[in-house]
Structure 1
């Protein structure tokens, strides 16, 4: 998938989050669902935080402050990036990511989504020119270059869209 396509799909996925915010009240946004797991608020906190961390990884690749790695990711990671989905089953977030998840307000989520969109738009032209040998380590996927980090952001953001759907379904 092209960098342009990944960026456009990521922006579209983030638009889903923006639009969904308009449909839920503050109490429902922060309430832990009966099925357990994260509230909408915590999902938003996670996806926004993880995407900002990914943007930092992209910036390190672009600024050439990441490591130089010649090897491609292993076949499992390349398959995830190619197919655009994580393998089936629940994946526990790394401890550092889990620790950063908190309940945020709808307004905080909205403001952070606006900042995230601007960040993605500003990085996009640079990613197209990036050196693929500069890579920053993902906690589970290993060393990724700037374009692969953008692809990860898309896959991860879409993955949690499904979680929003499951939470919504649990209320019906």
Structure 2
């Protein structure tokens, strides 16, 4: 996960403020909007991790559906584009490079605060994910990693589009 965050930081250093906020095409997210989404979503996901650790979630002894376990095991979301849930999409906005950098710092700080607690969390304590259903702390942690890497591919697409490549 830290390696993927490093890719975000490198991109942030390499692009101008103008390019950072430029949409590659009508209706598509800019780098800025992608950063806004990924780090706000990841920070919200870390709150879910913490709730599992603090035992303020839902107790679920039924287990996790095999489809979700497959996503977590293989480390990839299913192919295709996904529309963010309305609650998440409404948080996305155009932010400056400085705001993006601040979100990364905040995310890294929360990661380090929670990293040792994940393995100690009760696996039956779960918080609902908008698409994947109930996840425990370890599953949320893995989802954050998958989600972060997933959007690095989006950043590569944005880069190609801004350069006029396919």
TM-score (norm 2): 0.96
Partners of 2:77 and 2:107 in 1: CA distance: 23
CA-to-aligned-CA distance 1:16-46 (integer Å, 9 cap, x gap): 1111100000011001113641000000000
Superposition misfits of 4+ residues, deviation over 2 angstroms: none
Partners of 2:95 and 2:49 in 1: CA distance: 25
> 108, 115, 124: which one pairs with 1:117?
108
Partners of 2:84 and 2:25 in 1: CA distance: 21
2:23 is the counterpart of 1:32: yes
Number of matched residues?
A: 163
2:120 is the counterpart of 1:92: no
Q: Shift of the alpha carbon at 1:78?
A: 0.6
Partners of 2:46 and 2:11 in 1: CA distance: 23
> 117, 128, 136: which one pairs with 1:145?
136
Q: Shift of the alpha carbon at 1:73?
A: 1.4
Unmatched tracts of structure 1, length 5 or more: 1-9
Report the more deviating stretch, 107-116 or 27-36: 27-36
2:54 is the counterpart of 1:63: yes
Aligned CA-pair RMSD: 0.9
> 89, 105, 117: which one pairs with 1:126?
117
Partners of 1:155 and 1:119 in 2: CA distance: 17
CA-to-aligned-CA distance 1:102-157 (integer Å, 9 cap, x gap): 00000010011011001001100011111101000001000000000000000001
Partners of 1:155 and 1:66 in 2: CA distance: 22
TM-score (norm 1): 0.92
| Counterpart contact for 1:35–1:170, Cα < 8 Å | no
| Counterpart contact for 2:52–2:125, Cα < 8 Å | yes
